[in-house]
Amino acid sequence: MTAVPGPGDVRDEPERWRVTESVRAFEGPIFAIRRDRVVMPASGGGTEAVGRDVVEHQGSVAVLALDAADRVLLLRQYRHAVGARLWEIPAGLRDVPGEPLRDLAARELLEESGYRAGRWDTLVDVYPSPGMSDERSRVFLARDLAEVPADEIDFERVHEEADMPVVWVPLADAVRKVLAGEIHNALAVQGILAAHAFRGGAAGALRPADAPEE
């Protein structure tokens, strides 16, 4: 009989059930889809084979930029899959093998918003959609911000990024917008609420920017 966990046992743990068959159903430039046949524990002590589709994703990073006035940097981007322009925080794919996550986050912050940060901390690590994808994302907290002149940024915004306005929103207002259902992007929601908890003293010390992903 499995022991009932207590509050102190609440911690995600790695586990992998046996895969008897795996078929690649789709492969694209950003993600692939595989279909696994998985042997999972079943009631009564037996086993049961089930099918699971998995979206294999490169992974991503995101940046919750917080200025000295406790304002959050948000940018608006069109997202075709949901048919909406969403307010988000700077983010990007882990598409350069071996690139440190903090360096990737700094690059995305600069390219998407035109800012550099002097202080970096790890805010939260998340699986954005673990029911279907292996994507993992780290959300950084970036502070001590400085705007960079446009002629010093070697990046051309194209497609959806060509029309991406940036605004500064007081953190408390951003939290209210999340709870009012006015901000939907998952990484933005997670970053805003985590930053609010940290600034309110509920989160304790943050991990360093180069903390390992567990």
Which among 84, 104, 88 has a CA at the least distance from the CA of 96?
104
Whether residue 91 contacts residue 73, with contact meaning beta carbons closer than 8 Å, is answered with: no
Distances (CA, A) of 189 to 9, 112, 176: 26, 18, 11
CA dist., res. 117 & res. 95, Å (int): 22
Catalytic residue among 161, 182, 213, 214: 161
Number of C-beta neighbours around residue 64 at 10 A: 29
Give the DSSP H/E element, type plus range, for residue 173: helix 171-179
Pair 65, 89: CB distance under 8 Å: yes
Output the six-digit token pair for 67. Answer: 């200025």
CA atoms of 121 and 26, how far apart (whole Å): 36
> Which of these, 165, 164, 174, 117, lies nearest to 140 by C-alpha position?
117
Q: Beta strand 166-170 with 91-93: parallel, antiparallel or unpaired? A: unpaired
Strands (E), 127-199: 137-147, 166-170
Q: Is 135 a catalytic residue?
A: no
**Hey, which residues are catalytic here?**
161
